Amino acid sequence: MEWFGISLALYALGGLAALCPRGDGAANILGAAGALAGSLAGLAAFCLAPASAQAQVVLPWGLPIGALALGLDPASRLFLLPVSLLGAACAVSGAASLAGHGHDGGGGHGRIGAHWFFFNMLLAGLSLVMAARDAVCFLLAWEIMSLAPFFLIGFHDEEVEVREAAWVYLVAAHLGAVCLLAFFSLFFTAAGATGFDALALAAADGRLGAPSLLFLLALAGFGAKAGFYPFHVWLPEAHPAAPSHVSAMLSGAMISAGIYGLWRAAELLGPGAAWWGWALVAVGTVSAALGILQGLAQANLKRLLAYSSVENMGLACLGLGLGLIGRAGGNETMAALGLTGAVFGVCNHAAFKGLLFLCAGEVLHAVGSVRLGHLGGLGKRLPVVGGSFLLAATGIAGLPPLAGFAGEMALALALLEGLFLPGLLPRVAMAAALAVVAGVGGCALAALAKAGGLAFLGEPRTPAAAKALPPGPAARAALLFLAGVILVAAVFAPALFSLAGQAALAFPGLDPAPARAALAEATAILAAIGRVGLALAALVALLLFLRRRLTAAHGSRREPTWGCGYLAPTTRMQYGPGSFVEPAARVLGPAMGLKAHLDMDTGYFPARARLVVSAPDRLRLSVFTPLFEAVGKACDALKVVQHGRVHLYILYVLATVVLLLAWKL
């Protein structure tokens, strides 16, 4: 806990220090240094304690309700790991991208200090959420974590799209927070205390009046943060609008807080109705399938990655649901594999998606756009960015030997175990979920092949892409740091999988002996696959080495790419975002949300033709946009109470005190 406390203190100092100096350059250095130092202290807190260790501390609070109770256990440590790793990488990358930003007319003048203040608050809020052991403390930390991104997303608030994205995020975050407030209020009413131990005891004693209602409130509240379908609407808006190091932090660490919250809620509520697990499986399966299908249809690189996050959080939700089903049915193998797959998938997603968003940021800095139709050929001009993107894309698609394969394999093994559940309907449901997960894996591979292929392969589609310059040393260091983490995780995937299993073994209600045996068997399978993968990687490296030696000895000659018979090939003949997904759109177009409009002259030889393909989020347009507009109008109506008259403000306070006294009497 000492290193955890040091980490929080460094975040606070870094945020305050960024506000003090007048110069943007000093604020950029001090704010980033605080985030980096706090993240490194957080890493020390993870590395210097055994994985199964538990610690708790209660500090002076001063509020009439609740307590500043903080603790670390296997689940907290694992969910804190992405915060520290990504916090360090994003601090370095963000400092590089914002250096000199306030002097280039880019709209950030004078805002660098505020930006780093809220970035450090985001890291501190995330850390406190993972460590809180009291409902009031948890809600306060959740609010800090939820408010800070609003200011980070709106960094370029001179743009209308950015302001709208920040507003959508703020409304979605607080609609979820309302559900969480109701969740903990009902819990407090039954338990009479706000400590997590007291809440769990109230659930175990049967004092909860409607536990299923609490479960649904938790699913809605935490699901809005995790981005489950249909609460995902803020992700595709916020990620393209936010600076890329902020997008990496939000996607890699903050949305994982939704999974963590569901994990804690399931622990607090204890063994409940079996349909809780099935509900999570249904939500996770739908989120994974629709998220990746809509991601496949996107022509904006950051929007594609945002929808991919919806898919990954869906898979984590599926694993948590399998854990609850296994716990309710006494199937320890299924429960342990599902829970381990969920938490291991969250950790992998943080590293992969964080690196992908940082790569997208470097593409944006180099080209000025992340629209796939404006890119191409960047692999030759930005080799570090292209190689890092390829590595992360391979991992997040679940290909061996990278660690992403281990998480998806655990989910597949848990689903296979579900085929032996009693009753025909559960077996059919598990088989259907297994088929969906397999299809999701294929679509994820296609989506990331589209993103990487159109951005980094082929020829530049625009003059800006042809003139793209590689990033500076600091930005490259951040990319290489995360790439190194991914490679280390690939080598030690069985050990890390076993480490993630510690969180599953500590989940209440599981029999440790069969759960430990199931995890040991899965770890052995992973170790065998890892050995084969490393042998293949060594073989490929050897062949590449021999090729280099042979070509060096006999010389090499470069020729233009084969033009398939075209005498004058142009970049217009390359695959574009629409043509790449055209075969899939023939079958899955409605599910992908694709809309195509062809404007072409009539006749046998049309002189002009223009095909416009778009993929709007129909759920957002039809449901959430009217809802957000209604919330905006309601907030505007409340502006009448803000008029600047002090005596009326005093009247508000007096009326509130009288109402509270009357309620208490």
Q: Give the sign of the dihedral formed by CA 49, CA 135, CA 84, CA 440.
A: positive
Residue 88's nearest CA partner among 479, 384, 393 is 479
The mean pLDDT of 447-474, rounded to a whole number, is 87
Quick: pLDDT tens for 123-160: 999 999 999 999 999 999 999 999 999 999 988 888 88
How high does pLDDT run on average in the chain? 85
Confidence of residue 246 (pLDDT cuts 50, 70, 90): very high
More confident residue, 644 or 525: 525
Query: 182: buried, middle or exposed (CB in 10 Å: 19+, 13-18, 0-12)?
Result: middle
Q: Does the pLDDT value for residue 612 go beyond 70?
A: yes
Angle at CA 332, nearest 5°, toward 329 and 333?
120
Of residues 565 and 206, which shows the higher confidence score?
Answer: 206
Query: What's the number of CA atoms in the CB half-sphere (13 Å) around residue 273?
Result: 12
CA distance 605 to 602: 8
> At residue 235, does pLDDT exceed 70?
yes
Q: And the tokens for 237?
A: 């808006």
What's residue 103's pLDDT?
A: 47
- Which of 71, 76, 4, 72 has its CA nearest to residue 39? 4
pLDDT tens digit string along 205-225? 888 878 889 999 999 999 988
**What average pLDDT does range 466-489 have in this prediction?**
89
pLDDT band at 21 (very low <50, low <70, confident <90, very high): low
The vertex-36 CA angle with 344 and 80, nearest 5°, equals: 25
pTM: 0.88
pLDDT at 90: 92
| pLDDT given for residue 2 in this prediction | 81
175 residue type, one letter = L
Rounded Cα gap, residues 276 and 216, in angstroms: 9
- Look up residue 226 and give its two tokens: 């995790």
Between 249 and 593, the more confident residue is 249
Quick one: CA torsion of 165, 171, 175, 178, rounded to 10 degrees?
Answer: 130
Q: Is-contact 397 404, C-beta < 8 A?
A: yes
Task: Tell me what pLDDT residue 567 has.
Answer: 66
Q: Report residue 309 as tokens.
A: 């996050």
**b/e sequence 257-287, b meaning 16+ C-beta within 10 Å:** bbbbbbbbbbbbbbebeeebbbbbbbbbbbb
Contact 7, 39 (CB under 8 A): yes
Would the pLDDT of 32 be above 60? yes
- DSSP codes of every residue in 634-656: HHHHGGGG-SS-HHHHHHHHHHH
Distances in Å between the Cα of 589 and the Cα atoms of 82, 297, 453 are: 35, 9, 21
pLDDT > 50? residue 105: no
Residues 6+ apart with CB under 8 A from 90: 35, 119, 245, 246, 248, 249, 354, 358, 478
Determine the pLDDT at residue 492.
86
Residue predicted with more confidence, 283 or 404 = 283
pLDDT of residue 110: 63
Give the mean model confidence (pLDDT) for residues 489-497: 86
Angle of helix 332-367 versus helix 473-491 axis, rounded to 10? 160
pLDDT of residue 403: 82
Average pLDDT of span 19-29? 80
Indicate whether 371 pLDDT > 60. Answer: yes
Q: Which residues contact 480 (CB under 8 A, 6 or more apart)?
A: 384, 388
- Give the pair of three-digit tokens for residue 652: 């508000």
